[in-house]
């Protein structure tokens, strides 16, 4: 996938689901237990306590990553299904690409696995706050119940291009793809 390749839900099927018999019930592959793999809050992938240094391998793993309805993360292939630990969310948005300005602007985010996600109605922005320090924690929806945390420097870039909402000058946010995305209160 090239650096400008947008995330496409078709490239990432929701789950590699098998059907034992034609017309039979859909099911996941057998659970293999917990894999000794984790993703830290900065999007670094670890295997057996050591960082995975090959980006190509991390990108491959990211294509079979899913999050279930309980909030657990799984690496799911057609033949096995293993749980992994994720400290916050699996991806980091490490760059913002801004095209245009104002209501016509389009904001795209590049993740640490080189996916490019356009901020739009299907890939929304949410901002929570760190419970200890009340600092903003911005996230963008990537695909299939997976999010990327927006790096602090990228968030400050968004603040630079942000503006008050049309209907409430106490709400601050950014425009992208014809939608206003609130980032906080002024």
Domain ranges of the chain: 14-86, 91-185
Same fold, 14-86 and 91-185: no
Is 15's pLDDT higher than 80? Answer: no
Does the domain made of 91-185 have the CATH classification 3.90.580.10?
Answer: no
Cβ neighbours, 10 Å, residue 149: 23
Superfamily of chain region 14-86? duf1285 like domain (3.10.540.10)
> What is the per-residue pLDDT across 66-117, written as a single tens digit (0 to 9) for each?
999 999 999 998 889 999 999 999 999 999 999 999 999 999 999 999 999 9
Contact at 8 Å (CB) between 39 and 84? yes
For residues 161-181, average pLDDT: 94
CA distances from 50 to 5, 130, 136 (A): 29, 27, 29
Is 129's pLDDT higher than 50? Answer: yes
Is 4's pLDDT higher than 80? Answer: no
């Amino acid at each position: 996938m090239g650096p400008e390749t947008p995330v496409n839900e078709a490239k990432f099927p929701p789950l590699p689901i098998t059907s034992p018999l034609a017309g039979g019930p859909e099911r996941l592959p057998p659970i293999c237990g917990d894999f000794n793999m984790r993703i830290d809050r900065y999007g670094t992938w670890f295997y057996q306590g050591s960082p995975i240094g090959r980006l190509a391998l991390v990108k491959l793993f990211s294509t079979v990553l899913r999050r279930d309805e309980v909030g657990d993360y799984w690496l799911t292939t057609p033949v096995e299904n293993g749980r992994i630990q994720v400290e916050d969310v699996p991806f980091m948005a490490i760059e913002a690409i801004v095209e245009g300005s104002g209501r016509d602007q389009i904001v795209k985010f590049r993740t640490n696995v080189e996916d490019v996600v356009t901020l739009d109605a299907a890939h929304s922005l949410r901002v929570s706050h760190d419970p200890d320090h009340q600092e903003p924690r911005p996230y963008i929806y990537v695909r299939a119940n997976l999010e990327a945390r927006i790096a602090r420097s990228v968030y400050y870039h968004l603040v630079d291009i942000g503006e008050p909402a049309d209907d409430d000058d106490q709400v601050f946010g950014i425009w992208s793809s014809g939608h206003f995305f609130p980032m906080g209160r002024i």
